[in-house]
């Protein structure tokens, strides 16, 4: 290590909450440190300057920061979301699932997000027909009406928490209506979803695990009962379509149907809630003129893409090496997990000019917030539509919209969303 590198390491690790060995590329980051989860971007930029590929000690994972690497890893079929279809637990030294977590993983392991072809292909094909862009575009009038209805309910107050009053009700209502689940059960759906998502967070506790298992059992029981009801009284909704597929022998078991509904309900609102919150925060802090940002459909679409690039709701996506392999000069053993650092890739200075600045007029280049390859987010057209509708209506209806308090991010890395977003306007 030369003197210049040593000085850079010392300066970075003194100012930021991480420790790095530039020779071995081993990095220690405490993901529970507020100095990290409130704003992880400076940490990754400092690491990028020393080692754009690094080993995160606390996670036992090789992590990739560059946009090129993340793009390539998404598409490389030598990596996958599951590993036990090509190796045994004994071969890889993976312990058995603890008994107290079995109910959660009995459901989670059937999710298309956790499967590889041919199972992934079969499940995704059945669901994809409901999420293609032409189908989603038909929801625009309903989303517009919902946004106005919500704002009508609080416009006279002059101040609200955007996450609770606007960003949460929009996606949970829309995905519940797509599936055909009673919208009045939204509080239960949200509570179950939040508890289950706790299983994917870093530093989870036994209490979080127990809460996730209880939520999984309750969620599954509710949906199983609702599916039985729908069998006798099908409707024009996705659950009825999936039931029909199962009954017509399209290789969809009831357990897979239940898991698919849970995945869609969880993923169909969780990320969009925080994409909306993070996006409004970014717009207000940038000082950009909302009238210009949302002047045309094209500028609105560009603004939404910049919101998703600049501060995405998901910061890490994990994959397994499915064989012994070499990637970018790094030797990886079969079963080794890698971390695709989405938030960092979206701010790669080698791809984006002034990457750490919010600029909705920048040259449009693809971001990785929705993933790539076979696991590209199936709900991306819906999330984009919800943001393209909800953001312009919000800024148009609430004149002088501004921050009414310092926004604070949740202690939930690798998810990245606000605890709340207090806003005020000229009522």
Mean pLDDT in residue range 150-168 = 96
Mean pLDDT of the 143-170 span = 97
pLDDT at residue 10, rounded to an integer: 57
d(CA 305, CA 276): 12
Name the nearest CA neighbour of 321 among 62, 71, 97.
62
pLDDT value at residue 347: 98
Q: What is the pLDDT of residues 135-148, one digit of tens each?
A: 889 999 999 999 99
Coil, strand, or helix at residue 416?
Answer: coil
Strand partners, 143: none
Q: Does residue 246 have a pLDDT over 90?
A: no
330-384: pLDDT as tens digits: 999 999 999 999 999 999 999 999 999 999 999 989 999 999 999 999 889 999 9
Q: pTM score, two decimals? A: 0.92
pLDDT of residue 244: 82
- Give the range among 260-264, 316-320, 381-385 with minimum mean pLDDT: 260-264
Average pLDDT score over residue span 392-405: 96
Q: Which residues contact 21 (CB under 8 A, 6 or more apart)?
A: 27
Q: Is the pLDDT of residue 201 over 60?
A: yes
Please name each of the domains of the chain with its CATH number. 96-312+378-424 (1.10.630.10)
Burial label for 404, CB within 10 Å (0-12, 13-18, 19+), is middle
Instruction: Tell me how far apart the alpha carbons of residues 149 and 151 are, in angstroms, rounded to a whole number.
Output: 6
Say if residue 215's pLDDT is above 90: yes
């Amino acid at each position: 290590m030369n003197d210049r590198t040593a000085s850079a390491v010392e300066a970075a690790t003194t100012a930021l909450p991480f420790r790095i060995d530039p020779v071995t590329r081993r990095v220690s980051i405490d993901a529970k440190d507020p100095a990290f989860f409130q704003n992880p971007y400076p940490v990754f930029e400092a690491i990028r300057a020393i080692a754009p590929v690094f080993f995160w000690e606390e996670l036992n994972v090789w992590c990739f920061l560059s946009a090129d690497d993340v793009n390539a890893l998404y598409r490389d079929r030598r990596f996958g979301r599951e590993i036990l279809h090509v190796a045994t637990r004994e071969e890889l030294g993976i312990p058995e699932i603890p008994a107290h977590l079995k109910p959660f993983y009995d459901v989670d392991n059937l999710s298309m997000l956790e499967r590889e072809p041919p199972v992934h292909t079969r499940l995704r094909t059945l669901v994809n027909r409901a999420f293609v862009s032409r189908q989603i575009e038909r929801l625009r009038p309903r989303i517009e009406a919902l946004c106005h209805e919500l704002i009508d309910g609080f416009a006279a107050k002059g101040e609200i928490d955007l996450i609770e009053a606007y960003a949460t009700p929009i996606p949970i209502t829309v995905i519940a209506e797509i599936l055909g689940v009673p919208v009045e059960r939204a509080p239960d759906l949200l509570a179950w979803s939040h508890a289950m998502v706790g299983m994917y967070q870093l530093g989870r506790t036994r209490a979080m695990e127990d809460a996730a298992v209880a939520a999984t059992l309750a969620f599954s029981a509710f949906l199983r009962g609702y599916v039985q009801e729908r069998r006798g009284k099908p409707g024009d909704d996705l659950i009825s379509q999936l039931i029909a597929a199962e009954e017509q022998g399209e290789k969809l078991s009831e357990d897979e149907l239940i898991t698919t509904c849970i995945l869609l309900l969880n993923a169909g609102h969780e990320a969009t809630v925080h994409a909306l919150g993070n996006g409004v925060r970014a717009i207000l802090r940038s000082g950009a003129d909302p009238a210009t940002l949302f002047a045309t459909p094209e500028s609105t679409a560009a603004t939404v893409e910049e919101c998703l690039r600049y501060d995405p709701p998901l910061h890490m996506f994990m994959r397994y090496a499915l064989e012994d392999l070499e990637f970018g000069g790094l030797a990886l053993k079969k079963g080794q997990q890698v971390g695709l650092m989405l938030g960092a890739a979206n701010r790669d200075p080698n791809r984006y000019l002034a990457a750490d600045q919010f600029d909705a007029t920048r040259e449009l280049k693809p971001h990785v917030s929705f993933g790539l390859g076979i696991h590209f987010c199936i709900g991306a057209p819906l999330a984009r539509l919800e943001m393209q509708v909800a953001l312009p209506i919000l800024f148009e209806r609430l004149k002088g919209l501004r921050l009414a308090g310092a926004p604070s991010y949740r202690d939930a890395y690798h998810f990245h969303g606000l605890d709340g977003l207090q806003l005020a306007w000229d009522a």
